[in-house]
Structure 1
């Protein structure tokens, strides 16, 4: 297991001793998923939070009419999960599916609870991660209410350039809450403005 990317990531929040690192990695599962495989499925209880080492995932739900609604993407050094399901251990509202072959570090619910007892500073790490996710979610809600589709696309493009290059346009359109045809129209307009 290549520990460095994750250790670099958590080093932004906390410092672990060598003993704490060893305990942490004894409780983590490294998993590989193929393109199109699900990490979480809507209706199942989400048993883990997942740190992405490589690859890309989408988080989405399917409405009663069978329409897919993408609520997020995740790439290397990001987290993916149905956090509400994980925290409450109740059925997931979202699917998490791999857009590319994806390698993750999995933190299972029961093991994470043990780690919180053994390494209390991990609670601070996961609190900070959850806070950041909450703030991002709130900002996205405000943008969806107050900005045009064109403005939302510009923000997406500027904020997540690595994702736009890797994800099909119809998925970006779903994330923005528009049709792929309307996204194509927006992109044409923006190219004419340059």
Structure 2
């Protein structure tokens, strides 16, 4: 079944009957994206929250000098969007691109609002998803303030080993807030131990 993974993701937090499943699935837009394809560009309207069915997506902020700062990676079975802009109908601050060929399901803000009314259980589901995202980002901010770059890199490797194998050193460095050269030095030190 094409929607099995997204439905498994949802049923971790809420139970749906067949009619509710059918109603939910009809709102999903499936999209196949190629490696490096941008699904949201900074400045565009942020219309969708995306579920990664397969592949990896990356969200990054692009500053005025063209420097990319990776905000998050989204693996298979994860949700990703520019949350502030999606919720508040604002132009995107982030760019989201595929790190590798991926299949995603997109749910529009209008359809999500409709689901909240038609199937109120979805408010609970997305509240949990948004809470978990907030907690993850708060912990990451504290780690960035309190841990060394090497400690943050080790946490990244332990927490996301598959991402570390599939993204570039430059993207990892951008996520950690360090230069690729400094990351290379850290990795060189690890290899000597």
Task: Give the TM-score band, short-chain normalised.
Answer: over 0.9
| Structure-to-structure mapping, 1:1-194, within 5 angstroms | 2-193=2-193
SS in 1 for 2:166: coil
Give me the whole-angstrom Cα distance separating, in 2, the residues matched to 1:28 and 1:72: 23
1:192 Cα offset (Å): 2.0
Give me the whole-angstrom Cα distance separating, in 2, the residues matched to 1:131 and 1:186: 33
SS in 2 for 1:105: strand
Give me the whole-angstrom Cα distance separating, in 1, the residues matched to 2:37 and 2:144: 29
Give me the whole-angstrom Cα distance separating, in 2, the residues matched to 1:67 and 1:8: 37
Q: Which ranges in structure 2 are unaligned for 5 or more consecutive residues?
A: none
1:191 Cα offset (Å): 2.0
Give me the whole-angstrom Cα distance separating, in 1, the residues matched to 2:62 and 2:51: 24
Q: Please identify runs of 4+ aligned residues in structure 1 that moved more than 6 A.
A: none
Give me the whole-angstrom Cα distance separating, in 2, the residues matched to 1:68 and 1:3: 33
1:159 Cα offset (Å): 0.5
1:99 Cα offset (Å): 1.0
TM superposition score normalised by structure 1: 0.97
- The CA RMSD over aligned residues, in Å, is 0.9
* Matched residues, number: 193
